Amino acid sequence: MELRVQSLCKSPGFPEIMGFRAISCTSENEGLEALRRLIVDLIETCKIKGQPILGQMIPYSYQHLEELLKEEARRLKESNQAPVVMRRQLLQMVREHSLQLDIDELSQVCS
C-alpha cells in the first residue's frame, strides 16, 4: 500500500509531497501523532526569503483584503455567479479601502 501511495504522489500533476503517514481516523493512534509531528517539523522548516514563516505576524492589510474577498465571494454566490474576482476588481478594492499594498505585495498575497 505504501509503495502505491508513493508512486501516486510522484505522478505528474501532484504538488511535491513532503511526507505522508498512514492513519486511522476512527481513533487517536500512533499514526495520527506521527502525522502531527511531521506537519510541525515541515512547517518549522518552511521559509520565505530565508525567514521562517511560523510565528510571523500577518499584516492587517492582508487580513482586511481576505475579509473583503470573502464578502465578495458570498455576494457573487448569492447572485448565482462564480466567485471569481478579476485583477482590476481586486485593484479597485485595494484603492477603495485604502489598503497599504503595492503591486508586488498584492501578487504575493494572492498567490
Residue 89 CB contacts under 8 Å (≥ 6 apart), including other chains: 72
Is the same domain home to 46 and 68? no
Over residues 38-84, the pLDDT tens digits come to 888 888 888 877 878 777 788 888 899 999 999 999 999 999 999 99
pTM above 0.75, yes or no: no
Domain coverage including residue 101: 60-109
pLDDT > 70 in the chain, percent: 99
Which of 36, 52, 68 is the C-terminal boundary of a domain?
52
- Same domain, residue pair 44 and 68: no
